[in-house]
Chain A
Amino acid sequence: MDAQADFREQVQGERAYLMRYASLHLRDSAAVEDAVQETLLAALAGETAFAGRSNLRTWLTGILKHKIVDAIRRASRDVLPSADENDADREIDRLFRENGHWAEHPAAWSDPDAALEQKRFFEVLERCLERLPRRTAHAFMMREHLGSETEEICKELGVTATHCFVLLYRARMALQRCLDTNWFGRR
């Protein structure tokens, strides 16, 4: 087998892994497929760019991350601020009284880090993520999953810096409530 065919085969061999990785970030299975396909094509076109790098998987994942951000940007531009975003705002408002104090004081979770050792906990977290309004979820996933800085998120989502912080705040408040109801409150 010549070197080029060998490289092609190695790249294809990472496909399943890349699909799994992309599906952690993108909900739409067609978008997952597209992002991975674009990554593989870009990788095969850029064989020389890989030359000398040690880890094929790391290199491919780097390309895939950019494709995921592209996909998130395309998806979020399709969606205008939606009714469910306003609902999310109202839900946060209900946590507080008129004077800005808690309607009901949140209690400390006991030993939350023990949850990180449980597979079931991550299933609950995943379900909580799925319930977020779309743009809110995209902002949160870019921040916490891709590790993007907020400037980058604002740019990708086409929103102001202030709105960006608001989206992330909403996401976190909704997620902590969801985890409280569905995990910590049940034990």
Chain B
Amino acid sequence: MNLACKEAARLVSEGLDRELPADERLRLHTHLAVCRGCKAIADRLGFLRRAMRRVVERGDPGKS
């Protein structure tokens, strides 16, 4: 079944919080392979996580 972008964006986010079931993961990856907008969102959210990691490190013990 085809995935609408709205659903794909939601799954990208949810995939950062829990392991998606295999069927959802497959549908998402298939969608991301062909949809540049959703791929851009997936990359942006991945970057956001890296940026937050950096925020934590900047305030982390032993690094100051």
Q: What is the bound-complex CA distance between A95 and B37, given in angstroms? A: 11
Quick one: which of B5, B7, B53, B61 contacts A58, CB cutoff 8 A? Answer: B61
B48 with A175: CB separation less than 8 A: yes
Interface positions of B from 6 to 44, Cβ below 8 Å from A:
6-7, 9-10, 13-14, 16-18, 36-41, 43-44
Tell whether B1 is near chain A: CB-to-CB under 8 Å.
Answer: no
| Chain B residues positioned under 8 Å from A100 (CB to CB) | 4-7
B37-62 toward A: CB 8 Å interface, digit per residue (1/0)?
Answer: 11111011101111111111011011
Residue among A109, A150, A180 making CB contact with B17, cutoff 8 Å? A150
> Taking the complex as formed, is A165 at the interface, i.e. its CB lies under 8 A from any CB of chain B?
yes
Complexed CA–CA distance, A101 and B39 (Å): 13
**Majority secondary structure, B binding face:** helix
Number of A residues, CB within 8 Å of B: 41
A55: Cβ under 8 A from any B Cβ: yes
What's the minimum C-beta distance from B47 to chain A, rounded to whole angstroms? 5
A95: min CB distance to chain B, Å: 8
Docked CA distance A61–B27 (Å): 41
Query: Which residue of A17, A145, A165, A179 contacts B14 across the interface (Cβ within 8 Å)?
Result: A165
Binding-face segment, A34-42, A45-53, A73-81, A110-118: A110-118
Instruction: Provide a sorted-by-A list of 18 A–B residue pairs whose CB atoms are within 8 angstroms.
Output: A17-B61, A20-B59, A100-B5, A100-B7, A105-B36, A106-B37, A106-B41, A107-B40, A108-B43, A116-B51, A144-B52, A168-B16, A168-B17, A169-B10, A172-B13, A176-B44, A176-B45, A179-B48
A residues with a Cβ closer than 8 A to B are 17, 20-21, 24, 55, 57-58, 61, 95-96, 99-102, 105-109, 112-113, 115-116, 121-122, 125, 143-145, 147, 150, 164-165, 168-169, 172-173, 175-176, 179-180
